[in-house]
Structure 1
Amino acid sequence: MPKFLPRITGTEAWLTCVIALICLGLSLTTDSFLTLVNMFDILNYSAVNLIFAAGLLVVLIAGGIDISFAVGASVVQYLVAIALPGLGGGNWAMGFVLAIAFGTMLGAINAALIYHFQIISIVVTIATFNLFFGLLMFFTGGRSIYMLPDWLVTRVVVFERETAYGWAEITLPVIVMAAVLFSTWLLLRRLNLGRQLFAMGDNPEAARRLGIHIGAMHYLAFGWMGACAGIAGLMQAHYAQEIVPNALYGRELEVLAAVVLGGARLGGGRGTLLGAVLGLALVAIAQNGLNLLGTSPYAFRMIIGAIILIAIGMPSGAPAYLTRLLRRPGGPSKGVAQ
């Protein structure tokens, strides 16, 4: 297989099969699921979550966990909106620079608390989740911002096609998402820093003895997460054409479930970008299918909780083992103790 193509693991193969089965079932039970308009809608909506997933994957590979990124993205939205008028209204270049800078700063706060005070990452990010959201609501009073620069709220459509169900469009967030995913792939698979992140997540003490600067890796992982959160916040403001303080509240569970389902290990040292994308695709398609079927939105929350429990409880080698088992001549029973 060429080096530029991703290697399919057992987890990714199973996710692909499950996604295909769900798509088949929804295409048979609904009229609008398997249409270009709906597929593009899923892609446009999921772009923000995929940007989140890229950053969270880096943190999980490094052995940490972050549940504050969605709230951090909301904070970045407001900081950018406040800073832009003083800069003459800004433009896309300035917006990205500010979003990445503010997001990286919030990520660095998490990294500093985790590394210098030796606090477990989930405890730190639970604390900063509440701290960031509390400060945001306190200073904004929970008010939304509707008066945004024209360049930010004007829809940028990079591809459109008229169909029997309406216009199918691919918008700017999808292109930005693709750029973030490619950058994350380069970091994890083509740079020495990515190998150091994997090593630290797998065994921090061994990584330290090899000369890897553990503190720098913390700042890299959580800084990358913060930068992705900043970009995602900017894209959410562009997509929604407004800034609402709690618009992204709760996204952290969807993204965490998707990335863990995609094979990223909560203990660190393992995870693939393809797995994270497939996990998020499964979650997004399930949510879209429930909406089309008229199912209560609370059912989706139950599914997310079940996904997290299944993904955490499943042994790390189970998908690959099941794949080998089914490929064995004679089926599952041959060579297996009864």
Structure 2
Amino acid sequence: MLERFGIGKTEGWLLLVIALICLFLSLTTDTFATLVNICDILNYSSVNIIFAAGLLVVLVAGGIDISFAVGASVVQYLAVSLLIWMGGGNWALGFALAIVIGFGLGALNAALIYHFRIISIIVTIATFNLFFGLLMFFTSGVSIYDLPDWLSRRVILFEHETSVGWAEITLPVLVMAVVVFATWLLLRRLTVGRQLFAMGDNTEGARRLGINLGAMHYLAYGWLGGCAGLAGLMQAHYAQEVVPNALYGRELEVLAAVVLGGARLGGGRGTLLGAILGLMLISITQNGLNLLGISPYAFRMIVGFIILVAISLSGERMGLLSIGRRHVKAAGASR
């Protein structure tokens, strides 16, 4: 029945689990079902959903990337520093810088994976450490608090006063909606989207069909990089500061959410709805644990468990390493 509305089996189960958790938290806490808390979850989750949309493109193409959160930290620091150096700038320049720098970091991953025939998980582990190490070395871990006026001024799209405070929806939610829509267009309405699915499902078959595997690599990892850049800028706007390690560790939450939503680690399968529902399930769980006063370490255990289950059910006997081997073989055959 749900298939009529474009909701698959995985998405249906996620909706059911989310509904049950929300019911439980509504009965056991006084603040979960309030408009203020719901808006807070949406505002906080918007950055992660932007990440999830970009990561889905990479997973669909048969790759994996765990460097995007650190890349977003690099982007926000570089972009804000450049904007300050240029005298402040504006939203248009800020968005342009974030997308260009982020795309460049993603393209670096694509180049290493495709041209040097290195396994994607190994490349992104390396760039994860490279990006973070360089960021902390050159910044000494010092945060930026004096942001340009336009970036530090909160953009509120909706606000409503309640008995427990103000409920607000802020700019990151709008940017999230635009990114999700653009990613949906890419994957479901454009020819290149079908090519990404084809490459993830059968790399050798895609090569024989004449699909440019190199271009698909740059598109997938560049798209994730651009999304990460926007997420980094929105995090800076939301927090009204740039903290070098603020996004460190988000990659595990997002990866767990996207694979929980049905994206196959071997490539060729995944939906935006599933990724968003997976992310919302994790965000609601984290929020519920906080409201119940349960240790945050419990949340890390849940994330780790989800990743283990997802890998076990992915259908890839060799796990993550098999993803890279397929790309290595395809790159070699195309030369």
Aligned partners of 1:202 and 1:180: how far apart in 2? Answer: 24
Aligned partners of 1:14 and 1:239: how far apart in 2? Answer: 32
Aligned partners of 1:86 and 1:20: how far apart in 2? Answer: 48
Aligned partners of 1:110 and 1:255: how far apart in 2? Answer: 18
| CA deviation after TM superposition for structure 1 residue 85, in Å | 2.4
| Residue type of the alignment partner of 1:263 | G
Aligned partners of 1:43 and 1:304: how far apart in 2? Answer: 19
Q: How does 1:101-250 map to 2 (within 5 A)?
A: 101-250=100-249
Question: SS at 2:161's partner residue?
Answer: strand
Give CA-to-partner distance per residue, 1:40-83, whole Å, 9 cap, x none: 00000000000000000000000000000000000001111121
2:252 matched to which residue of 1? 253
On the 8 A contact 2:264/2:314 being kept in 1, the answer is no
| CA deviation after TM superposition for structure 1 residue 238, in Å | 0.2
Question: SS at 2:12's partner residue?
Answer: helix
Q: Could you say what the CA RMSD is over the residues aligned between the two structures, in angstroms?
A: 1.3
2:88 matched to which residue of 1? 89
2:74 matched to which residue of 1? 75
Aligned partners of 1:253 and 1:177: how far apart in 2? Answer: 19
Count how many residue pairs are aligned between Structure 1 and Structure 2.
314
Aligned partners of 2:77 and 2:178: how far apart in 1? Answer: 24
Question: SS at 1:277's partner residue?
Answer: helix
1:322 matched to which residue of 2? none
2:330 matched to which residue of 1? none
Question: SS at 1:248's partner residue?
Answer: coil
On the 8 A contact 2:147/2:241 being kept in 1, the answer is yes
Aligned partners of 1:264 and 1:197: how far apart in 2? Answer: 13
> TM-score by structure 1 length?
0.91
> TM-score by structure 2 length?
0.92
| Residue type of the alignment partner of 2:68 | F
2:332 matched to which residue of 1? none
Aligned partners of 1:6 and 1:174: how far apart in 2? Answer: 24
Aligned partners of 1:216 and 1:146: how far apart in 2? Answer: 39
Aligned partners of 1:311 and 1:35: how far apart in 2? Answer: 32
2:28 matched to which residue of 1? 29
Aligned partners of 1:113 and 1:152: how far apart in 2? Answer: 34
1:60 matched to which residue of 2? 59
Give CA-to-partner distance per residue, 1:120-153, whole Å, 9 cap, x none: 1000000000000000011001110101101001
On the 8 A contact 2:60/2:200 being kept in 1, the answer is yes
Aligned partners of 2:205 and 2:143: how far apart in 1? Answer: 48
Question: SS at 1:89's partner residue?
Answer: coil
Question: SS at 2:159's partner residue?
Answer: strand
Question: SS at 2:167's partner residue?
Answer: strand
On the 8 A contact 1:103/1:230 being kept in 2, the answer is yes
On the 8 A contact 1:61/1:265 being kept in 2, the answer is yes
| CA deviation after TM superposition for structure 1 residue 315, in Å | 6.1
| Residue type of the alignment partner of 1:127 | A
Question: SS at 1:168's partner residue?
Answer: strand
What stretches of structure 1 move > 4 A for 4+ residues in a row? none
On the 8 A contact 2:265/2:314 being kept in 1, the answer is no
Aligned partners of 1:266 and 1:36: how far apart in 2? Answer: 36
On the 8 A contact 2:50/2:231 being kept in 1, the answer is yes
1:327 matched to which residue of 2? none
| CA deviation after TM superposition for structure 1 residue 192, in Å | 0.2
Inter-CA distance 167–185: structure 2 relative to 1 (3 Å threshold): same
Aligned partners of 2:122 and 2:85: how far apart in 1? Answer: 36
| Residue type of the alignment partner of 1:36 | L
Aligned partners of 1:130 and 1:234: how far apart in 2? Answer: 21
Aligned partners of 1:158 and 1:238: how far apart in 2? Answer: 14
1:43 matched to which residue of 2? 42
2:13 matched to which residue of 1? 14
On the 8 A contact 1:258/1:279 being kept in 2, the answer is yes
Structure 2, unpaired ranges of 5+: 316-335
Aligned partners of 1:62 and 1:258: how far apart in 2? Answer: 17
| CA deviation after TM superposition for structure 1 residue 307, in Å | 1.0
1:329 matched to which residue of 2? none
Question: SS at 1:74's partner residue?
Answer: helix
